[in-house]
Every structure is written in C-alpha cells, then in structure tokens.
Amino acid sequence: MFKHIVDNDIELRLVDIHHAGEMFKSIDSNREHLGKYLPWVDSTETVEDTISFIKNSKKKYAANDGFDASIWYKGEFAGVIGFHGINPSIKEISIGYWLDENYVGKGIMTKACIEFINYAFTIYNLNRVVIRCAEDNLKSRAIPERLGFTKEGIIRDGELLKDGYVNCVIYGMLRKEWNRGY
C-alpha cells in the first residue's frame, strides 16, 4: 500500500477499502461543512458509496491516470486529496481536496498539496497543475494562493451545488515556476 510520510504529524496513504468506514464517518459528520462546496456529498449516503469511490480511485491509479490519497493527521483520518485525470495532450493535471472541519487551519492541506505538486512534476513529468475552487471558498482558495499559483480566471457558474451554481476560480502552476521541493 502506498504510504508517504509528509512530516511527524501528516501521512498520505492511497485510499483503501479498509478505511472506508472512517472516511464515510468523516463525510457524514461534516455534511454541512463539505456540502457547501462539494457536489458529491449529498449522494454519499452509505459506506458502500464511499467504497465505490475507493474502487473507482483504484481503477484510476491502475490506469496511471491519477490517484486519491487519504490524509492522516497524528494517526487520525483527516481528509482526502486527489489527482483528477491527466490531460496528456498538454501534460496537465488538476488537484482536488477536502478536509474534515476538525483539521482545518493546521497547514495540513497546504503540505499535502506540496507533496502532490512535487509528484505531478517529478513522477508524472507534467507541465501544469490546476486547482479549481469555488469563488467564495476563501479557505480553499488560500492554498493555491499561498503556494504561488497564478489566478488565471473565473469560470462563471462553473459548478452546480445543492444551492445552485457557483463561480469557480482557476489557479495554475507551471513546472518552470514551481520552486518547492525539487
């Protein structure tokens, strides 16, 4: 099983069915927090739904088209970070993430993103990493801004959430601009 130590407190692990219960429990207890910006939260109704996500993630990993990792903080499940499919024609990938509300504000996701960005540029040998955030999700937007991503624009009505469409801000980082960790 893929396991990557980020620091003394943070560990990334390839999502695994053995942790589906912990993942679902986090989603279920954070519905309001996560559902504000993530359209899949309401349709994740059972542990079996989480298992389906994990199985799809494993297929993506096997096809070398990205992967999802669970984030562990001091031995506790804290969230998920993942690569969305690789666009081979322009050597681009996007990163998506979510964090249990109990772990927000500890720098966990910023550190996890650094590891994923390094992976995208060094292991996948890609040229571009994209992070897309709801325009009013300031905590999520703070991560690419903190990491020096360029705000490239806004997609109007870029995502449909339970309360309607929201604009999405697109952030991009080019390999030649990235100067952290490699």
Tell me how many helices (H) and strands (E) the chain has: 5, 8
pLDDT tens digits, the chain, 182 residues: what are they? 578 999 999 999 999 999 999 999 999 999 999 999 999 999 999 999 999 999 999 999 999 899 999 999 999 999 999 999 899 999 999 999 999 999 999 999 999 999 999 999 999 999 999 999 999 999 999 999 999 999 999 999 999 998 899 999 999 999 999 987 54
Alpha carbon 41 to its chain's center: 14
Give the structural domain span for 92.
3-126
Q: State the Cα–Cα distance between residues 38 and 134, nearest whole angstrom.
A: 9
Q: Classify residue 149: in a domain, yes or no.
A: no
Q: Classify residue 173: in a domain, yes or no.
A: no
Q: Classify residue 30: in a domain, yes or no.
A: yes
DSSP codes joined into one string, 110-164:
HHHHHHHHHHHHHTS--SEEEEEEETT-HHHHHHHHHTT-EEEEEEEEEEEETTE
Total number of domains in the chain: 1
The three-point CA angle 18-23-25 to 5° equals 115
**What are 169's two structure tokens?**
């801000």
Q: Classify residue 160: in a domain, yes or no.
A: no
Q: State the Cα–Cα distance between residues 126 and 149, nearest whole angstrom.
A: 16
Strand partners for 97:
81
Cβ contact 121:130 at 8 Å: no
- Say which CATH number the domain at 95 has: 3.40.630.30
Cβ contact 132:98 at 8 Å: no
Q: Classify residue 90: in a domain, yes or no.
A: yes
Give the predicted TM-score (pTM) of the model: 0.94
